[in-house]
Amino acid sequence: LARVANGTLRSLQRLGDGPATEEFYASRASDPLRRAALFYSVPDWMALLWDRVYGREACLHLLRRSFDQPHPCVRVNARHERAGALRAALLEHGGEAVGAWGVAFAPGSSPDTVLDAPLECWMDAGVCSRQAAGSQSALSMLRPGEWSQPIWDACAGQGGKTLALLERGSQVALCSDVHGGRLRGLRDGARRLGLKAPPVIRAAADQPAPGGDALQQPPLRRWAGTILLDVPCSGLGTLSRRPEIRRRRGPEDVRHLAALQARIAAAAWKILRPGGHLVYMTCTLHPEENERQVAALRRAHSDVQCLDMWQTPHEHPWMEGMYAALLRKQG
């Protein structure tokens, strides 16, 4: 495809600066919203969704934000003896505080060297890790120090949130995920950070009933504490960092994921003991995967108490679009 790519680039070159302006696309989309979606490389269905549920001004903010370069962000390991010094130095280098221990930088401005050592060396030594700013903010906004203990991370992935909680001193007693390879990444991360890794088990969070493939079952019938659900989602809040989602996801994918999220939430609520907490999180901007999932759980169960709900402000200039809710099981 070398000749095809070369021809495409030459055709684009002949257009000059035109494609860099929104007016260039007027001939292809007369409607202002569709023209903006074309300019920012966002499928029509996403732009129309955001316009309908959030309003035109917020929609345009989200379109612009999805097209900007992502801000790199690190999370300082609060348990490390050099944590305070490193965080202060990162802030002095122009970083912006994020959450409890995060520091974000504008694209291209993160320092190569901090406190006379390369930043990568601080990571290798377990003093900090890379974690998206939106993820850190969502976790902090729900006040993990107030969650009932212990915590089960039932959609753990590679363990970014589990490791952040362990660094804060939270008692994460179990991690599970349907992908075993991701759980191996969690163990490696804990070893690098000098943390004791919690037990891990390969299990699908949406299958609570006993029987069948043991690797596809949550490993217990009851949980007294907190269940953390960072559920699989469409990822519409991470378009700047994961541009492939623009073409990979469609409305049918959202419907499939929403059904999976509902099963996961229902299974976790059944296992959770009264007095415990359920934390529901996504990195998407779609009511069907966020507010409506919480509303459906509340309609299905009279003992659901919503303690807090947070979403990245639409007007925030660069942070990923995250959603998080903290629920308590009454009784």
Cα distance between residue 47 and residue 34, in whole Å = 7
Whose CA is closest to 277, among 198, 224, 215?
A: 224
Cα separations in angstroms, 313 against 111, 136, 243, 322? 27, 14, 21, 9
**Phi, psi dihedral angles at 56 (to 5 degrees):** -65, -45
Residues 6+ positions from 41 with CB-CB distance below 8 Å: 67, 243, 246
Cα distance between residue 12 and residue 17, in whole Å = 9
Whose CA is closest to 70, among 223, 296, 239?
A: 239
Of the residues 73, 233, 283, 306, only one is catalytic, namely: 283
- Annotation says 283 is catalytic: yes
Residues 6+ positions from 319 with CB-CB distance below 8 Å: 71, 133, 134, 137, 312
The catalytic residue positions are 283
